[in-house]
Structure 1
């Protein structure tokens, strides 16, 4: 049986080694999809979505799932200050150039959505359609405080089951319907086994980029970046229990963007899992982006 994806290893502009999972046919008339994970998450989070898109019976397509510097199988940066949205956006462009992808639909969870909005300002021609998973142009301080409180600071569990219990204690109120299997999957995305012990799948110094945030000061205004997405169809997903993207911000996004479809997922927080009906909704967004491309051609 063939592996479900190829390993794509690329050099960043500063020489750092970047990694991405490369699913599906390399040569296809179908619009490629680029998946960008959350702050301390990895390409692995998109496996189910990538499998569904790349093996779609009617229209199989190429899917690239990126590990940012310092996360997953990408190299850790010697300077934590480079864990920065602008640098990570440039890294994504390096991956796309190496892969020969000139235009794609982007699926961005949390940090990935911010990077997608940054790409809209830096290199808008690469965008064809956008999925923003539990992120928008206004970020709630409460959610940032929660993330700041645990990234790089979690105690090291002895087993993945112990890690699953730890994550449930931390985020159980946001995902009350999660069962043991889902928490175990979340733990497997947070730690990996190395030399017989669990280690984080990201550089713990990532926390320093969060410590530099002064939550007493106004958060950056990201609405101008969101405005840059107006030429493209957008699917905005919010977890009903999210403390990072508010219902009011999602409503304002709908009112501001004429081609934005909003979905709220009950029983989930930051950030909803991309599975089940959400995969169908994402396929719908990609189809809309493809129709735009056909009209423009």
Structure 2
């Protein structure tokens, strides 16, 4: 099957951004943002699904990831939210559904709190709304490694953190594709996004989110299932979906179960 998406480049607030557009440009829009050290191609299966269900899907490569340029670091999630708003403006979209995973989910909190008028709904996957002080040191270590040896040096430990050994063994092509995405990430883009994660501080305001919200999380994603249960209690009317036998990228590891949860999010609207 060929790639039915169309690649566009737009001028973002700080650098050129790459966007893969799927589906009917006149249809209701869904914007999808990905994890740090990945690219928008991690959403291909879900973008194809949503396009088939009558949506225009805009998959954004985060600064310094995929085919987007890197602005000078550091960034904040508010900067990444501004990139998303620029994408909406470039495609003439007044309001969009938003789907974000990990770093993309963190950006979703910034959008939901500060720019809810531009959103129809939020689907936030495997993401925190804050970064505890105890977690900031590990990002310093990763930044040091990337600056010294490039982002490829982070591939093995990142893939092991995202997936268990069983998935790595049974899906070598998928793992190899993500390994390439990690290696191709620009150091400035990784450092900028890592600094944004270190400064993440939306927890105090998540109760201000007023758009329909669904949280999705892999059951095996460390402390995140409990963190997202806590977030569900703070966001009015929020729903929670837990994907069994999945870690940090449940859309990749368990696509059928993830897609079913994603469809339920849209059907509930």
TM-score range, shorter chain: 0.7 to 0.9
The answer for the alignment partner of 2:222 in structure 1 is 243
Shift of 1:141: 6.0
Structure 2 residue aligned with 1:185: 174
- 1:24 match: 23
Query: Which residue number in structure 2 is paired with residue 38 of structure 1?
Result: 35
Alignment check: 8 A CA contact 1:240 1:264 kept: yes
Please identify, of 178-187 and 128-137, the stretch whose mean Cα deviation from structure 2 is larger.
Answer: 178-187
For the structure 1 residues 252 and 171, does the alpha-carbon distance in structure 2 shift closer, same or farther, using more than 3 Å as the test? closer
Distance 2:136 2:165 in 1: 20
Instruction: Please tell me whether residue 124 in structure 1 is matched to residue 116 in structure 2.
Output: yes
Structure 1 residue aligned with 2:256: 276
**1:226-241 map, 5 Å:** 226-229=206-209, 231-241=210-220
Deviation for aligned residue 1:105: 1.2
Query: Is the Cα–Cα contact under 8 Å of residues 35 and 104 in structure 2 kept in the other structure?
Result: yes
CA-atom RMSD, angstroms? Answer: 3.2
Q: CA deviation at 1:63?
A: 0.5
Equivalent pair of 2:37/2:190 in contact (CA under 8 Å): no
The verdict on how the C-alpha distance between 1:254 and 1:171 changes in structure 2, with shifts beyond 3 A counting, is closer
Secondary structure at the counterpart of residue 177 of structure 1: helix
Q: Identify unmatched segments of 5+ residues in structure 1.
A: 193-198, 290-297
Displacement, 1:27? 1.1
Instruction: Find the counterpart in structure 1 of residue 73 from structure 2.
Output: 80
Is the Cα–Cα contact under 8 Å of residues 19 and 74 in structure 1 kept in the other structure? yes
CA gap of 1:138–1:75, structure 2 versus 1, over 3 A, is: closer
Residue 127 and residue 98 in structure 1: after superposition, are their counterparts in 2 closer, same or farther (change >3 A)? same
Contact 1:142 1:244 in 2 (8 A): no
Bigger fraction of residues in helix: 2
Higher mean Cα deviation, 83-92 or 98-107? 83-92
Check the 8 A contact 2:164/2:247 in 1, yes or no.
yes
Q: Which moved more, 1:180-189 or 1:38-47?
A: 180-189
Report the CA distance between 1:108 and its aligned residue: 0.6
Matches within 5 A, 1:193-232: 200-209=183-192, 221-229=201-209, 231-232=210-211
**Structure with larger Rg:** 1
Q: Which residue of structure 1 aligns with residue 230 of structure 2?
A: 252
> Helix, strand or coil: the match of 1:137?
coil
Write out the 4+ residue segments of structure 1 that deviate beyond 6 Å after TM superposition.
Answer: 154-158
Q: Which runs of 5+ in 2 are unaligned?
A: none
Measure the CA separation in 2 of the matches of 1:210 and 1:101: 25
The CA distance in 1 between the partners of 2:138 and 2:188, in whole Å, is 17
TM-score after normalising by structure 1: 0.76
Give the drift of 1:80: 1.9
The within-5 A match list for 1:56-75 is 56=53, 60-75=54-69
